């Protein structure tokens, strides 16, 4: 079931996607949220520069691997 908190984070993803589109990129946004609901990191698409690995979900995964413990990532 989708909660109001889930919808809040989803709306933020849409805002980030809009930002990407305004910057000439494809409209994708991602938010990484902790188990207790804190926003840990967020990003939007950056593939317009030619590096097609710069999707926000990849960037958040790389950030999590570098900045969170295995326990925090579970």
pLDDT value of residue 56: 96
What is the extent of the structural domain holding 27? 4-73
pLDDT tens series, the chain, 74 aa: 999 999 999 999 999 999 999 999 999 999 999 989 999 999 999 999 899 999 999 999 999 999 999 999 98
pLDDT value of residue 74: 86
pTM score, whole prediction? 0.89
When divided into structural domains, the chain yields a total of 1
DSSP notation for 22-66: HTTS---EEEEE-TTS-EEEEEE--GGGS-TT--HHHHHHHHHHH
């Amino acid at each position: 079931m989708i909660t109001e908190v889930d919808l809040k984070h989803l709306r933020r993803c849409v805002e980030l996607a809009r930002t990407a589109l305004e910057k000439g990129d494809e409209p994708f946004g991602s938010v990484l949220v902790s188990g207790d609901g804190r926003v840990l990191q967020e990003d939007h698409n950056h593939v317009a520069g030619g590096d097609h690995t710069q999707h926000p979900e990849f960037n958040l995964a790389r950030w999590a691997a570098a900045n969170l413990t295995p326990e925090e990532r579970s």
